[in-house]
Chain A
Amino acid sequence: MTMDTFVPKPSRKPPMSTVGPLAWVRANLFNSTTSALTTLLFFYLLWLYIPPFIDWAFLSANWTGTDRSVCEANPAGACWTFINVRLEQILFGLYFGANPDEVWRPIVGFLLFFSLLIPLLIEGMPHKKWIALAMLTVFPVVFYALIHGEWIGQPIANTSQWGGFLLTFVLAFVGILLALPLGILLALGRRSEMPVIRTMCVLYIEFWRGTPLITILFMASVMLPLFFPAGMEFDKVVRAMIGITMFQSAYTAEAIRGGLSAIPKGQYEAAAALGLGYWRRTVFIILPQALKISIPGIVNTFIALFKDTSLVSIIGLLDLLNMAQSAARSIEWKGYDIEGYLFTGLIFWMFCYGMSRYSQVIERKLDTNRRDN
Chain B
Amino acid sequence: MSSSPSESKIQAGEPIIRIQGLNKWYGQFHVLKEIDLEVAKGERIVICGPSGSGKSTLIRCINRLESHQEGSIVVDGIELTEDTKHINDVRREVGMVFQHFNLFPHLTVLENCTLAPIWVRKTAKREAEEVAMRFLERVKIPEQANKYPGQLSGGQQQRVAIARSLCMNPRVMLFDEPTSALDPEMIAEVLDVMVGLADEGMTMLCVTHEMGFARKVADRVIFMDGGEIIEQNAPEEFFNQPKNERTKLFLSQILQH
| Residues of A bordering B, CB below 8 Å | 264, 266-267, 269-277, 280, 284-285, 288-289, 292, 369, 372-373
- 25 A-B residue pairs with Cβ-Cβ distance under 8 Å, sorted by A, are A266-B98, A266-B100, A266-B102, A267-B102, A267-B104, A269-B102, A270-B104, A270-B161, A273-B63, A273-B95, A273-B96, A274-B91, A274-B116, A274-B165, A274-B168, A275-B116, A277-B88, A280-B120, A285-B104, A289-B106, A292-B106, A369-B150, A372-B148, A372-B150, A373-B150
Complex interface: chain A residues within 8 A of B10 (CB): none
Complex formed: what's the CA distance from A270 to B65 in Å? 10
Given contacts A264-B102, A274-B120, A276-B119, 18 further A-B contacts (CB under 8 A): A267-B102, A267-B104, A270-B96, A270-B161, A272-B91, A273-B91, A273-B94, A274-B116, A274-B165, A275-B91, A275-B168, A276-B115, A276-B120, A280-B119, A284-B115, A288-B106, A372-B148, A372-B151
- Tell me the minimal C-beta distance from A194 to chain B in angstroms: 13
- Tell me the minimal C-beta distance from A210 to chain B in angstroms: 33
Give the residues from 147 to 190 in chain B that come closer than 8 angstroms, CB to CB, to chain A. Answer: 148-151, 161, 164-165, 168
Q: Chain B residue with minimal CB distance to A283?
A: B119
4 smallest CB-CB distances across A and B, nearest first, come from: A373-B150, A275-B92, A270-B102, A274-B116
Complex formed: what's the CA distance from A191 to B106 in Å? 22
- Tell me the minimal C-beta distance from A244 to chain B in angstroms: 31
Q: Chain A residue with minimal CB distance to B84?
A: A277
Q: Chain A residue with minimal CB distance to B94?
A: A273
Complex interface: chain A residues within 8 A of B151 (CB): 372
CB of B103 within 8 A of chain A? Answer: yes
CB of B196 within 8 A of chain A? Answer: no
- Residue in B91, B105, B119 whose beta carbon sits within 8 Å of that of A373 in the complex: B105
Complex interface: chain A residues within 8 A of B95 (CB): 273
- Tell me the minimal C-beta distance from B169 to chain A in angstroms: 11
Q: Chain A residue with minimal CB distance to B174?
A: A273
- Tell me the minimal C-beta distance from B112 to chain A in angstroms: 9
Q: For the complex, would chain A's binding face be called helix, strand, loop or mixed by DSSP majority?
A: helix
Complex interface: chain B residues within 8 A of A373 (CB): 105, 149-150
Among A264, A275, A277, A280, max chain B CB count under 10 A is at A275
Complex interface: chain A residues within 8 A of B63 (CB): 273
Complex formed: what's the CA distance from A274 to B150 in Å? 20
Complex interface: chain A residues within 8 A of B149 (CB): 373
Complex interface: chain A residues within 8 A of B84 (CB): 277
- Tell me the minimal C-beta distance from A292 to chain B in angstroms: 7
Complex interface: chain A residues within 8 A of B150 (CB): 369, 372-373
Complex formed: what's the CA distance from A276 to B106 in Å? 17
- Residue in B92, B94, B98 whose beta carbon sits within 8 Å of that of A269 in the complex: B98
- Tell me the minimal C-beta distance from A365 to chain B in angstroms: 13
Among A276, A280, A289, A372, max chain B CB count under 10 A is at A276
Complex formed: what's the CA distance from A272 to B104 in Å? 12
- Residue in A269, A270, A272, A292 whose beta carbon sits within 8 Å of that of B103 in the complex: A270
B217-236 to A contact mask, C-beta < 8 Å, 1/0: 00000000000000000000
Complex interface: chain B residues within 8 A of A288 (CB): 106
Give the residues from 62 to 98 in chain B that come closer than 8 angstroms, CB to CB, to chain A. Answer: 63, 65, 84, 88, 91-92, 94-96, 98
Among A269, A270, A280, max chain B CB count under 10 A is at A270
Complex interface: chain A residues within 8 A of B164 (CB): 274
Q: Chain B residue with minimal CB distance to A273?
A: B96
- Tell me the minimal C-beta distance from B186 to chain A in angstroms: 17
Complex formed: what's the CA distance from A266 to B102 in Å? 6
Complex interface: chain B residues within 8 A of A273 (CB): 63, 65, 91, 94-96, 165
Complex interface: chain B residues within 8 A of A274 (CB): 91-92, 115-116, 120, 164-165, 168
Complex interface: chain A residues within 8 A of B103 (CB): 270
Complex interface: chain B residues within 8 A of A369 (CB): 150
Q: Chain A residue with minimal CB distance to B116?
A: A274
Complex formed: what's the CA distance from A276 to B112 in Å? 13
- Tell me the minimal C-beta distance from B76 to chain A in angstroms: 13
- Tell me the minimal C-beta distance from A72 to chain B in angstroms: 62
Complex interface: chain B residues within 8 A of A284 (CB): 115, 119
Complex interface: chain A residues within 8 A of B100 (CB): 266
Complex interface: chain B residues within 8 A of A270 (CB): 96, 98, 102-104, 161
Among B65, B149, B161, max chain A CB count under 10 A is at B65
Q: Chain B residue with minimal CB distance to A285?
A: B104
Complex formed: what's the CA distance from A285 to B102 in Å? 11
- Residue in A269, A275, A289, A372 whose beta carbon sits within 8 Å of that of B120 in the complex: A275
Complex formed: what's the CA distance from A288 to B120 in Å? 19
Complex formed: what's the CA distance from A269 to B150 in Å? 19
Complex formed: what's the CA distance from A288 to B116 in Å? 16
Complex interface: chain A residues within 8 A of B104 (CB): 267, 270-271, 285, 289
Complex formed: what's the CA distance from A99 to B96 in Å? 68
Complex formed: what's the CA distance from A271 to B104 in Å? 9
B131-154 to A contact mask, C-beta < 8 Å, 1/0: 000000000000000001111000
Complex interface: chain A residues within 8 A of B96 (CB): 270, 273
Give the residues from 34 to 65 in chain B that come closer than 8 angstroms, CB to CB, to chain A. Answer: 63, 65
Among A273, A276, A277, A373, max chain B CB count under 10 A is at A273
Complex interface: chain B residues within 8 A of A292 (CB): 106
Among A264, A272, A292, max chain B CB count under 10 A is at A272
Complex interface: chain A residues within 8 A of B165 (CB): 273-274
Q: Chain A residue with minimal CB distance to B119?
A: A280
